[in-house]
Structure 1
């Protein structure tokens, strides 16, 4: 009777749990709130309670059924494992229905386009035309992803950004000069001290010398005669529309005649705007801004004498001297400066082309609303839809900006501010637009490149060399840094970028780079040459270095810097798109040869001093696709064409089920002699075993109230599938607890199970295995050690395991190739912390809490953020942990877990010995030096990283003798 009552009660609870599970699933799929997951967790708890009740009553059959229900509720569904957009559609059926309807409409439109081709060319010809169009579209997409700077949209974005910054510069200058004239006006301000006046004068002079005067000189390079603008503006204000068009045509013709005359040989072919394509408003805006700048500079010169008098007097007599000096002439000069400042502030909006477009649209809307008051300010839905379609259709070929403040002015300002000179280099049938920046920004007597040590800078994929003019000369950019070091810098635009004609491709860009190097070495006599390539520019830099190493002409490269670049385009396409087939589709769509896009082989075969700079947490180039990973994998595994890798076969099945590999310990993959080398099978088995430890640790952490006594049956717990979510190995709940602990820190003996476990092992530098009592589980302690192992590549082992097998291969091979403390490793990178948002003032990722102190016993360091561990220290700690686990009899550990952890310990010990052996042989000529970065993609180096790089540059380039000519 008692057994029947237990079964009935359990059946009722099971029915309630299943009903609630259905409600939870419905709530999860129909809303974005957290109600569904909370119900889901409650159902799992109820089913576990029923499971325990059935175990006590001895009903094995129903207990097995209950375990299956718990397994079904805890496991991830197919939708949860799908790609991000697909997962979002699966959880939002309404959005999915709308998306499918829109997709059906797209197919209908495609059928309308395809049908005429089928009628004219036949069905086969229509399919061929569609295949050709699809290939061309794919090639366009691939080119946009690889070389976005070759599209007009990017150029327009650069011009808009330059206009925005130029407007801010004019506003800042107007405010600084306004404070100057206010201090000099007799009635504007009566109480002022000498220190404040001196500060205002210094700010005004800096704004005039660094903001206005370079811009005035740059505009003078491009502007036609001033009489042209005055006649155009006067006639446009007095004549009608016909006279305005006539004057505009005359201005364009005069500009076409005089444009080449105003450009001197010092700046080269700086170019000028196409005045014939600009409207009269754009030409008048250019003239108005130039006139306003000239007036401000002239007006500020009129108050220099009285300013010098006031600055020379003592501070005690400043007020009296000021009252005596501010006479009518000074007031008139101050008034002139005030008028010029107001005009400059009004002209700051004229450099923005969208400002004029917005003003015209506002006037049109005002006219429409005044003519028909009942009309809606918005257009009809059909008109809005038509405007949207037209905008999308014109996106590939946007209309040029109606503004004279574009690339031509930016190029002229680069020439004036940096002392740069433009020149052309012929490469085949194409002329490459180049620019040279002299050492210390001092232009030589003869224009062009000089026979001095030079840096050829290959810019990233969306950067035009004109953009370097927007950076200050004292900034952290590469052009300014090299010029301040006394090096000559040469920058150039790839094909399709700026004024360089053609379409970019790996082969054509490499050929252009070779042509530039030949020009510098053979025609300009450059004695020493460093090639620095960043991002996509690294592919060009490695091609140039490999070309001169292989053919050995009379020119050579003295040093090579591959800065945050990839090993080859195919693996980068795989990780960038998330599609494995992208590596195969890329050459089919673009016809780019694999050897042209292979930076790995060219870098390894280059014989000059070379450096790899890489950030393991680069958001654009993942660590698996970086050149650093490619070189390390090639050096250790011999894989010359790395691709995206995942676990396969039995290892993938065991990882999906959350169980240990079978067998977990494989002695055949571990070293048996000194000639042992790394293999893909050993790395894959190591990754599977380590991920199993992580999965078991996550399962233990997910229990909010872990049992204090012996654990449950190991066979049952090991059969339950424990998902290993991508991303950080710790759950968001634990991250929130760590952040809360940083604000309200508790002592280590606080009553919190998870935080207590973390606090007990967190001071990993002084980890004492003997202090661990029998209530701790092996997997939690082991994973706390494993996830913080530092491979010296700027990434912790836990984050590499959370990605894929390719990340683990890169982590292992990078550690063996460039171990910590290696002479050719410039900076031992701190591994990425478990929270990317925690950075220090210099941009380096910090592992310590902000308020943690070594001297505070109640706030021990590394409690919330454990420190990185070396591979050797981690293997020793795990070995002690296994030995301590063998002595525990009351808390047994599943044998598969012990075998997995044993293999992990032996593997870590093996790669540590392998790295030590390679370091003793010092066989590193083929891999070059490594600089581990933490600054991100295309961001300036931190001071520590910049100092390390400058040290390498001093030894390997500046202090080295020039490369002798070879026959």
Structure 2
């Protein structure tokens, strides 16, 4: 009533509101009206629908492949530019300090007025000749690792931009390195075509300054040779020869000039302060630095000036500024501007090539037709050989190599990080793991270092649409400013430019893999795909293993990669989006991208090569139920190997939804009664049916809700004080948080009926017994990293995935524990035997002394399956006395029977045999003699690797050692694991 009353009492505001509404409607309607006069009303509708469809596809592609967007690689370039300026500034500071010390300790009267400049470091008055050596060694380290590297990269890029062949101005060193101990640049490093014209001029000026600084420092070092090599430790200031003092003054002037030039190279940033962004110690208060960091210069485009003005808090404010800022942000996405600093991806690529011995760049052609994601173009590839691998490659063969497929936001330029410290050009970093050096697992901060130290050549590449890789024709190198050129670029990009898709990623990976095998002679190829790279890796392995895919006369192993590793990947893209955003996204993605095939599980199962799947059940990006591990398990257990839709969100049958809503027993709804479901038995039931799996999920959920209600009524708390019930309850179900450990194979000797899960002493009443039974059921160890309670909280379909993973991959975990037990003190077994005997203790992965942590409330551990079965049956025995346990007797009986089925099936001889073969990268036997799969090598689920590192983190030391063990199996069998 108040707005209406205000409108009646204030007619002017009412009229203004009506006029504003009509004007807004006119502004929105008029363009469509004018357009309908040209293309008719039906044409306008078609344009609106088509534009919306195109926008939707662009959004899906933006989310699925962020690495192809300016937002990602622009941020990488900006961060690398700030890092480069900091490193160069630190190098200048160290060179200046060394030169000033030499000048201070030299002749006092040289006739040069520069000798009267004040000494900035008061400590130099106490400096002796013995201090010069450490100062110059530190300055020499910065010269080799920073100044020399950037000089080589910049001169190479500047000469390429001017159309001149690169010249080796640094000279040759030892071991195939240049004069400063860096790898000589080989291949097409770049030509600075993605930076502004002013940045190219800055790169040329920087290259000249770096060259002068290196020449001056070399001359000064030679002149000071007698002083630096003097072991007498003299302290006289006149010990520095006059010639050396003059060379040091020339070096000092050049270093100071370089240091003053560096602030102008920082990219413009809204967060830059007057003393320079990125933490540069040089200050950067010059006019040129301020001009680059916000003030408009003659070389600055109008769009950049608009963006800087809109982002300036001291400038005009209001709706116009907000619109201008938003428009500038959108324009940078649809029409990326050149990078405003010379330190772009070209320099980053050159620095990476400089840090690794024998590293080189090469181009691989994509298929020339649009069939199967082709369309021509080239893929940008970087080859980093293992120690001694360059010489082997020059002879036409590479014994072992890994092809690494990036995640969706990854670029090959940052696959080894931005730091200049990494690489293997320095003696201490080149030592393999296990040698008498400082190299260790902690030093392996990227997959490149890991595989190099394992003895594998590494091939990194960018998918088409990422970095310099492209489909069709390469993008034009000239960037013209102005409205008309911008509109032309936007129209061309929207209608004709190449855009990455699921199929192009697979095509690129296969093209590179085929090139490595047929052209470079790789004998043993490992294809490693991380996250969405698992989709590319599985697709490449599948196509490479097809009959006739590679000429067998070229390489007898070419038809099968030595190993396919899908690392923290998904089953299909729709399932990931559904659990990450919402269930509606699955239908939206299928409608907007009907031709995309993101079925990773299908390609993985169809690949006829040794394979492994690595998964973290606690992955924050890819939910466990949508992971590749779950997709494989669901397909093999419930669908007979059919993978379509595996991993997507699935609603439970109507009878379970209704019974859950009514609060009745599982499948006992009054409005939608279900059929009686019997628990499976082994060996009569070789597989679990979908109805049986959903009935188990409904029974477990029913027990959880009843136990939570009983706990609230009685106040009995089986939860430890430290963890307690979860604060985020799902319809009355309370889940205990678990302390998951990485101590694989640390077997506890208590076995079934131990103190864990309160199996040794029963609570005093049925409701307390129910709470305890639920506590153990929720903490049930599924053998694949996820407790049952966490799956119950995620829904019925997550429980179904949990159950399928337990029967498909759980056997490998248990068999591995049994083999470790057999190899322990007094064990007579042998690793790898297919006659391993499974004991109840092999299901127990709790660390030694876990009882103490549970008693004092500092941790809760997953409870082994046999122990949970025993406790559920004791609760079932107590149900005969009536009460709440009597009402839950069917659910308790079914859950106990299903978990007992899992234990019995995993412990059977056929499953033990197939699990042992999977651990050895062998496919299951297809003789139907009790095995769990009954399929050939192309249907093998592969070896399972349980991770605890999250989605984007590096493997822990134990996980890296586990992967090394898998690679040793590949080496031992020579890449011929398929039987």
Check conservation: 1:153, 1:396, Cα contact below 8 A. no
Q: Which residue of 1 aligns with 2:477?
A: none
Pick aligned residue for 1:652 from 652, 657, 671 = 657
Q: Which residue of 2 aligns with 1:434?
A: 381
Pick aligned residue for 2:968 from 943, 954, 963 = 954
Deviations 1:270-326 (A, max 9, x none): 221128x7333651355236514751674376357868866874xxx75x5476745
Cα shift at 1:931: 0.8
Is the aligned partner of 1:353 residue 2:288? no
Per the alignment, in what secondary structure is the counterpart of residue 615 of structure 2?
strand
Deviations 1:532-590 (A, max 9, x none): 1111211111111111323243232221111111112232333333134x334334323
Q: How does 1:620-639 map to 2 (within 5 A)?
A: 620-638=621-639, 639=642
Is the aligned partner of 1:219 residue 2:154? yes
Pick aligned residue for 1:279 from 197, 202, 205 = 197
Deviates more, 1:783-792 or 1:193-202: 193-202
Cα shift at 1:140: 0.9
Per the alignment, in what secondary structure is the counterpart of residue 436 of structure 1?
strand
Check conservation: 1:854, 1:861, Cα contact below 8 A. no
Check 1:707–1:949 CA distance in 2 against 1; reply closer, same or farther (3 A cut): closer
Check 1:657–1:302 CA distance in 2 against 1; reply closer, same or farther (3 A cut): farther
Q: Which residue of 2 aligns with 1:257?
A: 163
Distance in 2, matches of 1:724 and 1:129, equals 47
Q: Which residue of 1 aligns with 2:620?
A: 619
Check conservation: 1:455, 1:531, Cα contact below 8 A. yes
Q: Which residue of 1 aligns with 2:411?
A: 464
Check conservation: 2:389, 2:457, Cα contact below 8 A. no
Distance in 1, matches of 2:668 and 2:166, equals 78
Cα shift at 1:624: 1.4
Distance in 1, matches of 2:216 and 2:390, equals 27
Cα shift at 1:385: 3.0
Distance in 1, matches of 2:39 and 2:289, equals 45
Is the aligned partner of 1:210 residue 2:145? yes
Distance in 2, matches of 1:505 and 1:941, equals 28
Per the alignment, in what secondary structure is the counterpart of residue 496 of structure 1?
coil
Deviations 1:911-957 (A, max 9, x none): 2212223523417521110111111223211111000001101112x
Pick aligned residue for 1:915 from 879, 885, 906 = 906
Q: Which residue of 2 aligns with 1:189?
A: 124
Per the alignment, in what secondary structure is the counterpart of residue 973 of structure 2?
coil
Is the aligned partner of 1:689 residue 2:699? yes
Distance in 2, matches of 1:196 and 1:903, equals 79
Check 1:893–1:591 CA distance in 2 against 1; reply closer, same or farther (3 A cut): closer
Distance in 2, matches of 1:904 and 1:960, equals 42
Cα shift at 1:896: 2.4
Q: Which residue of 2 aligns with 1:577?
A: 581
Distance in 2, matches of 1:551 and 1:362, equals 60
Is the aligned partner of 1:379 residue 2:316? yes
Deviations 1:432-487 (A, max 9, x none): 22221122387449879853322111111122212235252254211222223232
Check conservation: 2:780, 2:863, Cα contact below 8 A. yes
Q: How does 1:129-148 map to 2 (within 5 A)?
A: 129-148=47-66
Cα shift at 1:204: 3.9
Q: Which residue of 2 aligns with 1:158?
A: 76
Cα shift at 1:610: 0.5
Pick aligned residue for 2:350 from 394, 407, 412 = 412
Check conservation: 2:534, 2:566, Cα contact below 8 A. yes
Distance in 1, matches of 2:22 and 2:226, equals 76
Q: Which residue of 1 aligns with 2:772?
A: 781
Distance in 1, matches of 2:457 and 2:24, equals 54
Pick aligned residue for 1:899 from 878, 890, 894 = 890
Pick aligned residue for 2:547 from 537, 551, 564 = 551
Distance in 1, matches of 2:818 and 2:622, equals 20
Deviations 1:583-608 (A, max 9, x none): 34334323424xx4221112112221
Q: How does 1:718-867 map to 2 (within 5 A)?
A: 724-725=729-730, 729-730=734-735, 765=756, 767-770=758-761, 772-774=763-765, 777-819=768-810, 822=813, 854=849, 863-867=857-861
Is the aligned partner of 1:524 residue 2:512? no
Distance in 2, matches of 1:550 and 1:826, equals 36
Per the alignment, in what secondary structure is the counterpart of residue 62 of structure 2?
helix
Is the aligned partner of 1:939 residue 2:974? no
Cα shift at 1:668: 3.5
Check 1:449–1:873 CA distance in 2 against 1; reply closer, same or farther (3 A cut): farther
Is the aligned partner of 1:678 residue 2:688? yes
Cα shift at 1:623: 1.2
- Structure 2 stretches lacking a partner, 5+ long: 1-19, 106-121, 170-182, 270-287, 298-304, 306-311, 369-375, 424-442, 472-498, 552-557, 718-726, 740-752, 820-844, 924-939
Distance in 1, matches of 2:796 and 2:128, equals 68
Distance in 1, matches of 2:707 and 2:244, equals 79
Check conservation: 1:727, 1:802, Cα contact below 8 A. no
Check 1:813–1:325 CA distance in 2 against 1; reply closer, same or farther (3 A cut): farther
Cα shift at 1:346: 3.8
Deviations 1:117-157 (A, max 9, x none): 33433332222111211111111111112222222333322
Cα shift at 1:646: 3.3
Q: Which residue of 2 aligns with 1:500?
A: 469
Q: How does 1:309-458 map to 2 (within 5 A)?
A: 313=231, 318=233, 320-321=234-235, 325=239, 339=253, 341-354=255-268, 359-360=291-292, 362-363=294-295, 377-394=314-331, 395-418=333-356, 419-427=358-366, 428=368, 429-440=376-387, 443-444=390-391, 450-458=397-405
Deviations 1:218-237 (A, max 9, x none): 11211239xxxxxxxxxxxx
Pick aligned residue for 1:929 from 933, 943, 946 = 943
- Structure 1 stretches lacking a partner, 5+ long: 1-101, 226-254, 369-374, 709-721, 739-761, 829-846
TM-score by length of 1: 0.69
Distance in 2, matches of 1:105 and 1:883, equals 77
Distance in 1, matches of 2:606 and 2:643, equals 12
Check 1:723–1:223 CA distance in 2 against 1; reply closer, same or farther (3 A cut): closer
Per the alignment, in what secondary structure is the counterpart of residue 124 of structure 2?
coil
Pick aligned residue for 2:677 from 664, 668, 671 = 668
What number of residue pairs does the alignment pair up?
A: 755
Cα shift at 1:165: 2.4
Check conservation: 1:440, 1:483, Cα contact below 8 A. yes
Bigger share in helix? 1
Deviates more, 1:350-359 or 1:608-617: 350-359
Distance in 2, matches of 1:782 and 1:312, equals 79
Distance in 1, matches of 2:449 and 2:249, equals 39
Check conservation: 2:569, 2:628, Cα contact below 8 A. yes
Check conservation: 2:412, 2:461, Cα contact below 8 A. yes
Check 1:550–1:578 CA distance in 2 against 1; reply closer, same or farther (3 A cut): same
TM-score by length of 2: 0.68
Check 1:308–1:527 CA distance in 2 against 1; reply closer, same or farther (3 A cut): farther
Distance in 2, matches of 1:146 and 1:349, equals 36
Distance in 1, matches of 2:145 and 2:365, equals 35
Per the alignment, in what secondary structure is the counterpart of residue 888 of structure 2?
helix
Deviations 1:33-89 (A, max 9, x none): xxxxxxxxxxxxxxxxxxxxxxxxxxxxxxxxxxxxxxxxxxxxxxxxxxxxxxxxx
